Amino acid sequence: MRERLPILVFALLMAAIPFVPDMPPFWIVLLDNIGLSALVAMGLVLLTGVGGLTSFGQAAFVGFGAYTTAVLTTAYGLSPWLTLPAALVVSGIAAVLLGLVTVRLSGHYLPLGTIAWGLGLFYLFSKLEFLGRNDGISGIPPLAIGTFRMIDPGTIYYAIWAAVLIAALLTMNLLDSRTGRAIRALRRGHVAAEAFGVQTPRSKLLVFIHAAVLAGLSGWLYAHFQRAVNPTPFGAQAGIEYLFIAVVGGAGYVWGGVLGAAIVVVLKEVLQSYLPLLLHGEGQLEIIVFGILLVALLQLAPSGVWPLLASLLPVKPSTKRPDPTLQLTERVRTAGEGGVLLEVDKARKQFGGVIAVNDVSFDVQAREIVALIGPNGAGKSTTFNLITGVLTATSGAIAVNGRKLRNPPPQEVVKLGIARTFQHVKLVPDMTVLENVAIGAHLRGSAGPLSSMFRLDRADEARLLAEAARQIARVGLAEQMDQPAGSLSLGQQRIVEIARALCADPMLLLLDEPAAGLRHMEKQRLASLLRQLRDGGMSVLLVEHDMGFVMDLADRIVVLDFGTKIAEGTPAAIKQNPEVIKAYLGAAA
């Protein structure tokens, strides 16, 4: 409850403002506008700052919300309270339709796509007959509870700011959950999250809908605040301005959206009302100064004003430890003792004319540590990607527990009990070690976005975090649990990846160069951990360049060279194998 205290203080403060004697009504209007913008910016924080999906089209969703209630209340005489769900549903459905097209766009295409439909929808708003073309729709009824009609800015103020606070709480709850971790992982690419069962397209669509619904809510409030709508506030300029707000405030922070809205709205207002007096100038001086100030602000605080401000607040992040007694159900282990767990049969991967993996066959038994070695470019990581479904094989077969896999996506492979780490560490640097590791247990939880928003997911969440904490302790990083993953050394980050993989409750652990960057003692600890896992019934397939480490640890070694398997056997046999020596040291050796 303690971390909610500042929000309560803020809510009380906001509630008290209209009671300040001699409060100029102008300031209340300003606060109303700040609240309306903050709602949209908050959605953008989730979408752009957290999820990494830049959108210029949010103003269009505000338009959907505003026009929905405008049409329904004026043409059909519905009560504004009935049009609220309609406005949210319309913007949500619009988000699904546009999102299905847009979120598939990768890289820079995505923001450009949003500009395109943002502009397109704006022109549509201004050309459609039943939306009143350029004149829009007027005579929208005010919000009313019984006979209390929210006509003046001072009364709708409460509706707007209640919406802002509720939206902020729900958004923060969402971010601090199983679904939220999947969203926060989006910005760092999709491969790692997908390897633990996250359906990244679905997560992207989810944040897209969330942001659109918040924008729709803002539009609904706007329509009943202004009592009239026209296309102008839903155009490209507005869409860009919402993005300003999010970036200036701090695109990665929910409260950055609110702060950014305050900064931008107040700045524009002050410039518009005082600058002409000051300079007696003609033209749009305020726009010029606003543009210059914006660039200057970005140069001073490139990651937004909120993080600067938040570091001054005396609030410490909570270091709540999950209850260690909570348990997750474990996988039913069907593999009999000593059976073949993984069978790779003539797997082949071609990139154009290059054969990265050339008809490689090997297997991994239950309770066995197998090492895959070979010089750089031998095709080891590609083999890993084939097994885990990141790449699809050109030909050949891979079977787990005797069941043949037909190019399943990574999300399905992890369900079969295969979890992996990456050669190039793929953690979310600004999430804590605990949160990163909990992504590994994604498939073992079930809470969805709605239950996360309303905090109905706490039992599920506590079990996930307890499991994550247990695996972190197991790999020996309990001390670093609450640190941002990006602050750890590279070697430690590799160990965090192992803990994350263990969280998936795997039968087979795929480790891509786990010992790189570790010190001697750390390597020994890692080796004993892996032995211990094997003795507990797990199998390990690892790629590693440290020959001492591999020879000591592995039960069996498979050697690849230029994509082809050249040898397989016990460490002792491999050391003597002339083919292997030739591959590593050249023909003359």
Tokens of 73: 């209340």
* Sequence-ordered list of residues with C-beta below 8 angstroms from that of 118, at least 6 positions apart, any chain: 56, 57, 58, 59, 60, 235, 236, 239
Closest CA to 479 of 518, 425, 434, 439: 434
Report the residue number, 45 or 342, with the smaller CB distance to other proteins. Answer: 45
| Minimum CB distance to other proteins smaller for 23 or for 101 | 101
Question: How near is the Cβ of 567 to other proteins at its closest, in Å?
Answer: 31
Candidates 72-80, 145-153, 282-290, 438-446: pick the segment binding other proteins (CB under 8 A): 282-290
Of 125, 221, 197, the residue nearest 444 (C-alpha): 197
Range 69-99 burial, b when 16+ CB lie within 10 A, else e: bbbbbbeeeeebeebbebbbebbbebbeebb
Considering only the stretches 158-166, 213-221, 292-300, 445-453, report the one whose residues sit in contact with other proteins under the rule CB under 8 A: 292-300
Q: Is 274 in the site for other proteins (CB under 8 A)?
A: no
Question: Contact between 352 and other proteins (CB under 8 A)?
Answer: no
- The residue (of 143 and 248) whose beta carbon lies closer to other proteins is 248
**What is the end-to-end Cα distance of the chain in Å, rounded?**
68
Indicate whether 423 belongs to the interface with other proteins (CB under 8 A): no
Any contact of residue 247 with other proteins (CB under 8 A)?
yes
Tell which one of 9, 82, 287, 308 touches other proteins (CB under 8 A).
287
* 54 near other proteins, rule: CB under 8 A: yes
Of residues 94 through 113, those in contact with other proteins by CB under 8 A are: 101, 104-109, 111-113
Q: How far is the CB of 262 from other proteins (least distance, A)?
A: 17
> Does residue 21 belong to the site contacting other proteins (CB under 8 A)?
no
| φ, ψ dihedrals at 398, nearest 5° | -125, 130
Write the single-letter amino acid at 73.
Answer: T
Instruction: For the CB of residue 44, give the shortest distance to other proteins in the complex, in Å.
Output: 11
Q: Give the range of 295-303, 339-347, 464-472, 483-491 binding other proteins by CB under 8 A.
A: 295-303
Dihedral sign for Cα 355, 361, 364, 370, please: negative
Q: Determine, following the binding rule CB under 8 A, whether residue 302 of this chain makes contact with other proteins.
A: yes
Assess 557 for contact with other proteins (CB under 8 A).
no
From the list 394, 386, 318, the residue with the least C-alpha distance to 350 is 394
User: Taking CB under 8 A as the rule, does residue 330 contact other proteins?
Assistant: no
Chain centroid to CA 490: how far? 22
Nearest 5°: the CA angle 287, 289, 291 is: 65
**Closest CA relative to residue 557, chosen from 378, 427, 397, 398:** 378
DSSP-derived 3-state class of residue 485: helix
Give the interface size with other proteins as a residue count (CB under 8 A).
49
Q: How far is the CB of 236 from other proteins (least distance, A)?
A: 9
Q: Determine, following the binding rule CB under 8 A, whether residue 515 of this chain makes contact with other proteins.
A: no
Closest CA to 374 of 543, 524, 510: 543
When asked if residue 216 is in the footprint of other proteins (CB under 8 A), the reply is no
Q: Which residues of the chain form contacts with other proteins (CB under 8 A)?
A: 48, 52, 54, 101, 104-109, 111-113, 115-117, 119-120, 123-124, 127, 187-191, 240, 243-244, 247-248, 251, 281-292, 294-295, 298-299, 302
